[in-house]
Structure 1
Amino acid sequence: MKTYSNSCSNSCSDARPESPCPCGSASLYGDCCQPLHRGAPAPSPEALMRSRYSAFAMGNVDYLLQSWHPLTRPASLTLDADVRWRHLAIEAAPQAASDSSSGTVRFRAVSQQGDEWHQLAELSRFIKQDGHWRYHDGDAVWTRLHPGRNDRCPCGSGRKLKQCCLT
């Protein structure tokens, strides 16, 4: 299992090219998701998934709609400004063959809204169209998390909640 994680204790909406990428790839935003957000094609379904997570974290609705397959793309998308995306873990991202036109990514993403925490677990499906990977659809399961003050923070930092995102 290939796992990437991110602990985004700062506001991801302030991501700069020299800051860590919100997707948790251990790369700088300018070397990772920013080129995709500016129109470069994603090299794989996993790269598109990570760039979409970063777009959610940054409130980049235009990119989310643009990277959605036209057959399943909503007419509009409104993001809740109070939701902060805190952690992404890619659990499985089988390498798509170079001539493949479909791929999948299994991931878990943790969000926070006020003092409530949620986890989205999804198996996402992607289709390659005109040289660009596009999000098609996914099987999503939402779970409410109930971390205690002395539990590890759900953001993935490894610190206690009271010393991390609760402050």
Structure 2
Amino acid sequence: MKNLVIGILSLFLAKDCNSSNSQVREVAETTIEKQATTPEKPTQITGVVYKVMQLQTKSLTTNQPTVRMLPSENSVSGNSGCNSYTVSYTKEGDQYNFGYPMATKIFCEGSSESEFFTTLREIKTITQTKNKMIAQSKEGKILFEAVAIKN
């Protein structure tokens, strides 16, 4: 009798596990389908420092500016390749409007600082991932490309 009760209970438990497993499987398959069909939206990632590798059409190999988005303060900070800087921005929808950068005043020969600061003022859209940042003008021209160096 004892074995019969244990056998019946085992059948009920097995049936419940199978229905739970199929429900979990259905939810997982639905989630995977949604992820496959939903395009990844660019997001604003904080805490990542990006190094500018391409400024306008010029590849940078030395004195590369860095960029760190600080959305809670509506600002960007970093190093211009010569001086530390910060610049505030406003954002309407996906469009950025950058102010004038404030920077320390160290003289550095051969720096792209002036061009970098001018470029910041032209940025209208920014696309970020954990590994890359692309800044574009209103017309869609790529102003700079940067890669993540620190999280």
Give the structure with the larger helix fraction.
2
Do Structure 1 and Structure 2 share a fold, with TM-score over 0.5? no
TM-score normalised per structure 1: 0.29
Pick the structure with greater CA Rg: 2
